[in-house]
Chain A
């Protein structure tokens, strides 16, 4: 199967040829357990009845603790493991059909590549698997190396690359041919802060181009910074799908500011129904803002009146708290208490 012309590379990805209205990815009632021991008995399900739909052009995250079933889910989507039950479609095509992966880029966790190949040779090899001709391969190699900031290391052998560099090259091979669906397993693991920022920027850039991105992580801030929606997975089960765009508008903010007790210059700002003084000590107020706009109004008033702002925090509704609370309640280590009436 021929990939599209490299001239289209910088354009927004096309919709699937035959299913223009199909979701980018649909996972329904996915169940997977692995055979264990000499007799090959099936163990506890790694994924248990998982289902979600990823719309075109969104960044969708799978958030879960280690061993939650994120990688198994991604591998099932990619046909690397065979689900016991359930169905998966990519752009309307059954995921078991290799053609469904024609426009999919994948980065595994801690990718490993042939050490004897140079970065350029490796990308050339993967481009050939996509069916690109020589000119397209050269162009794609250049574009993808630049995207991951590795253009100066094209001729370096992978055996001489650091872990971070390999991760970047792994990302570059996933970006070859401008895939419509990008699947990344823990893309920021093993990267230094600069590398993490680069990955974030690449994901957001891909979203701007219309690429659908699905990635897994167990690090909440990584998810919060880029994802549109997040599926929280606990012990192989879907706990909740949260719309982070929606959550961001509902988030509360707590600000600690200094203001005189009488005749405060903040009085006008505090007439905003979105702002509530929750704690007042001498010249030190704690104000709760119901939305980012109210917070902005408070901070502007403080700046204008010379009131000091000591601290601003998100208060409640943040993903990390929810994730940790859910994790603790769902943990098999937590003793279950039955109330007998």
Chain B
């Protein structure tokens, strides 16, 4: 089974490379250079904070861009072009196909974040600050968040066209980061609104779990326990989204 999954994953990764997605890494480098050379001199004494803040935010946003452009389009594009028919008429199960597509994009994201991470580390080392482990922890959590969003994008891609799937994925990104605030507002409002906010909080992934950028920028420590908990939380959501995607996709007429 895994041979077929890896074959689909390999094809997806190769397609990402050929689609020149890795040009985004170059774009990230330009952003970092801009942050270091242009913004840092304007903020005396906070050069390291600026590099960390801009660098991590750019990494997260460029990763999100890949999820929206590729992940939300991944399955639907193959359905519309009908390339999927020749794949699924080989002895490949629909679940194997989805898992392969997901893993292919995961490898793409890991490679991209690894390359951006190297540039980021170099940029941080060029500042007076020392590189703490929390920087790498933040990059790891950005990757985890992107993997959750990718799984959601795969689900949306089986349900809707590329544009709608991208909008749904972006909405999940925005709402996922506002869930804590939503819950707080619900608690303040009370009654039905509190119950609704609580339901939404439970039904969607809380993406703030993966956001430790503020701690990194301010040099606060990040516990290994938090990273472990976030890993379990992220993997659980990935499994939920992929199982839902598989259930939807199994009924799809191609």
- A residues with a Cβ closer than 8 A to B are 1, 34, 75, 78-82, 98-99, 101-102, 104, 106-108, 111-114, 116-117, 121, 125-126, 128-131, 170, 173-174, 183
Contact = CB atoms under 8 A, between A and B. Distances in A.
Interface string B242-254: 0000000001011
Contacts of A108: 82, 85-86
A183 B90 CA distance: 12
B4 A116 contact: no
Interface of B is mostly: helix
B15 A101 contact: no
A104 B91 CA distance: 8
B14 A117 contact: yes
B8 A129 contact: yes
Contacts of A114: 11, 15, 83
Given A81-B254, A128-B3, A98 B92 contact: yes
B29 interface: no
Interface string B213-254: 000000000000000000000000000000000000001011
Contacts of B6: 128
A116 B19 contact: yes
B254 A129 contact: no
12 contacts: A75-B85, A82-B251, A82-B253, A98-B92, A98-B93, A114-B15, A116-B19, A125-B10, A128-B7, A129-B4, A129-B90, A131-B91
Contacts of B85: 75, 78, 80, 106, 108
A75 B91 CA distance: 15
A80 B86 contact: no
A75 B254 CA distance: 8
B40 to A, nearest CB: 39
Interface string B73-108: 000000001110111111111000000000000000
A99 B87 CA distance: 14
A170 B14 contact: no
Nearest to B12: A114
Q: Which of B7, B92, B93 has the most CB of A within 10 A?
A: B7
Interface of B: 3-4, 6-8, 10-11, 14-15, 18-19, 81-83, 85-93, 251, 253-254
A99 B86 contact: no
B15 A1 contact: no
Given A114-B83, A128-B3, A78 B251 contact: no
Nearest to A185: B85
Contacts of A101: 89-91
Contact of B91 (A34, A81, A125, A129): A129
A140 to B, nearest CB: 13
A34 B252 CA distance: 12
Contacts of A125: 7, 10-11
Contacts of B83: 112-114
A268 to B, nearest CB: 58
Contacts of B90: 101, 126, 129-130
B96 to A, nearest CB: 8
Contacts of A98: 91-93
A255 B56 CA distance: 85
Given A34-B253, A114-B15, A116-B15, A1 B91 contact: yes
Given A114-B15, A117-B14, A129-B4, A79 B91 contact: no
Contacts of A81: 253-254
Q: Which of B7, B14, B90, B93 has the most CB of A within 10 A?
A: B90
Contact of B86 (A1, A82, A102, A173): A173
Contacts of B10: 125, 128
A117 B15 CA distance: 8
Given A128-B7, A173-B86, A80 B254 contact: yes
Given A75-B254, A80-B254, A98-B93, A129 B18 contact: no
Given A116-B15, A116-B19, A80 B89 contact: yes
Contacts of A80: 85, 88-89, 253-254
A130 B8 CA distance: 11
Q: Which of B18, B83, B253 has the most CB of A within 10 A?
A: B253
Contacts of A174: 86
Contacts of B7: 125, 128-129
Nearest to B97: A129
